[in-house]
Each structure stands twice: as C-alpha cells, then as structure tokens.
Chains A and B, each alone.
Chain A
C-alpha cells in the first residue's frame, strides 16, 4: 500500500494527505446515525414520510444530506404485510452517504448468494423471524439506485421525541436484516 501511495504521489496522481481525510470522513462523519435520523423523521412526520417513499433522493436532499455518492435513493417501508431486504448480489452497492460503509457480512458470499433465494430462512438463522405470510421483498441493487429500508416503528414509543427514536434505529434494520424490538424499561 505504502509503495502504491508513493508511486502515485511521485507521478502527480495523488496528494497523500487526501487519503487521511477520506479515512477520517468514513470513520467519524458518515455512518448509520445519518440514516437513523431520516427514519426517525419519517416516523414522526407523515408529510416527510410520504415524500421519502415517493422520491427518496429529493426527500433526503431536502433534509440537508447532499447524497454525494448515492446519486439515487429509493426508500421502502416495512409494514405488517411486507418486509423489505436490501442486497447487492453482484458486488457491494450500499447507500454510503446515509449508512456508512457496509458491514463485512453484507459484502460476503453467504449473504450475496442467499438473500435472493431463501431470505426468510437466512434471516431466521440471523435471528430475524419473519412470519410465513409476510411478503419478503428483496431489492437487489444492480444499478446506481440505492435502497433504504424504513423499519416499523416499535410499539410503546408513542410520544417519543425524534432524537430518542433515532437512537433505536439500527444499521441492520435499515438494510432489512434486523428488527427493532419494543424497548423495555427505556426512558
């Protein structure tokens, strides 16, 4: 790595200090907390929720997120009838701007191979049980459209503030590979 950095900076292709800035951005600024804020807003604001589900790109931009790497975003909502799951079978497409870098399991062969064929069985093994009569709807990110799952708002959170709700939203729930349980003894 160091050799490659040296060669490219000697050739004028690279200012090595940019690498530190990029790493720092991924480690400190970009992450699932951004997506969690979007989900919490959708839970408390029906007008935002409607615009998010209609045109995710425009709705998220309107919140002030510039979606620099995620040119196009579709938000899909989990309900009592439909559970959404996001995968990239061909590589590792993922909405970096709002979820950060994908976890290793998302990029792994077991997930990429199985998410489109037996997602219900795979999710059950991951501890996420989806009732057999709930439709599992998988979104394979084969182009430059990125997907965000809006998980179901857990029961027992009526009246919660947006920032409190955001803290409940997990990365995996925004991929569709996690559920948000009813908070016990919280607050």
Chain B
C-alpha cells in the first residue's frame, strides 16, 4: 500500500538528531514491548510480513505522531485482536476472559536467553533466476493495496542488478500466509535517474527487489 511508512524521498521532516550516549531503551516499557513482540513472533500466530503490514495500516497521523515502541505496542494489540487471540473486551478488562486457541509455538526461557532467532528467509529455487548481475532492469510501476517491499521512489525507474541474493520468501504473498518464494536481487539506481537531472551525479541507491517487482529495461 502507498502509506506514510514508505518514507524515502519525502521532504520536510527536518534534521536528523543524534542523541549522545543513547540508552538501549528510554523506559522499561519499551524493552517489554520489544520482548513481547519477540515472544509473540516465536508463538508464530502471525509472521513478520503480517506484523509489518499491521503497522503500515495504522492511520497516517497515528503512525507519524507515535514513537517507535508506541507503534509496536499498537501493532501488537492489533495483531492479537485480528488473529483472535485477545478480544477488545479483554484489553479493556486487563485480564483474560476466555480461552484462545493454543499457540503453534511458545518461547522457552532457554530460547529467550539464546536470543530468539527467526531463521533464514531463503528457500530452494524452483526455477532459474530471470535476471543476472549487470543486467539493466526497471522497477515496475506497481501500487498494490496490500503489503509490498518495493518503495515508491524506485517505481518506474531503471537500474542495474548488482547482486542475486537467491530465492526468498515473498513479502507480498507471505502477508497472506503463502511463502511463494521469489528471486531476490540488489538493484542499483543512479541518483539522477531517481531524483532528476539536478540530483547528485555521484549518488547511487540500491534496493533489494523481488523478481515480480522488476522487468527488463
């Protein structure tokens, strides 16, 4: 979807402000949100793309005015409700009022101590890659209503394949529960191709693009 999360190239957000001696978390609840998100990831009630799409669907004003972990908490609650694990009345009551279907997985303390992983996104190829390194490609002008990882600022623009990463889980399908693996490429675009003739001629921007995002240039 063409949402506010797709920020590449938007003007007006102001300067980047770095914080000296930034703590890992600015408040204990931030760490709890992160940890709970990880634990629910291990429960496998939804996948990474589903949880990203939930954040992308936050109302634009909410997305832009919430802190990072506030967004994560909103996303967590939305996923729990959407997947039938927690009902809104339970959130209001602040306790469980009924049973939920058992989780496919549950994080143990031992796993948590070992840094909960998520494994590889690469899958065996079922067909040869359509593009090779050095090949000229164009990002297709796609505007799907669902989840996609093709940023707006490259759509319609021509670039060059600089790496073939293998066949990976395809986010646009994975968000619906279907891994549908696709070839993944690093595609490099020159600054003026993306941002016009006045752009920095010594700028290059690469995105990792799945094969359905690309066509021959």
Partner-B contacts on A (CB < 8 A) = 1, 3-8, 10-15, 17-27, 29-30, 66, 68-69, 71-72, 74, 87, 89-92, 97, 100-101, 103-105, 107-120, 122, 125-126, 132-145, 172
B2 shortest CB reach to chain A, Å: 12
Our pick among B6, B108, B115, B186 for the contact of A90 (Cβ within 8 Å) is B6
Is B125's CB within 8 Å of the partner chain A?
no
Contacts of B55 in A (CB 8 A): 91
Contact B165 A103 (CB under 8 A): no
Contacting pair A136 B115 (CB below 8 A): no
B205-A132 in contact (CB<8A): no
The CA-CA distance from A125 to B95 in the complex, in Å, is: 48
Jot down 5 A-B pairs with beta carbons below 8 A, ordered by A: A30-B115, A104-B26, A136-B200, A139-B186, A141-B208
CA distance A1 to B94 in the complex (A): 10
The SS class assigned to the A binding surface is mixed
B121 to chain A: which residues have CB within 8 Å? 71-72, 143-144
Residues of A within 8 A of B61 (CB): none
B114 within 8 Å of A by Cβ?
Answer: yes
- Interface residues as binary, B29-65 with A (CB distance below 8 Å gives 1, 0 otherwise): 1011111101110010100000010010000000010
- Chain B contact residue count (CB 8 A cutoff): 90
* A72 close to B122 (CB less than 8 A): yes
Whether B7 pairs with A89 at a CB distance below 8 angstroms is yes
Whether A120 and B36, one on each chain, are in contact in the complex, defined by CB atoms closer than 8 angstroms, is no
Inter-chain residue pair count (beta carbon < 8 A): 254
Q: Which residue of chain B lies nearest to A144 when distances are taken between CB atoms in the complex?
A: B121
> Chain B contacts of A90 at CB under 8 A?
5-8, 52, 149, 151
A-B CB proximity, top 10 nearest: A68-B117, A89-B8, A10-B96, A3-B94, A143-B208, A22-B35, A21-B112, A18-B112, A19-B35, A23-B31
* Complex contact A27–B119 (CB within 8 A): no
Q: Closest Cβ of chain B: how far from A112's Cβ, in Å?
A: 4
How far does the alpha carbon of A116 sit from the alpha carbon of B189 in the complex, in Å?
10
Q: Is B90 an interface residue (CB 8 A)?
A: yes
* A113 x B13 contact (CB < 8 A): yes
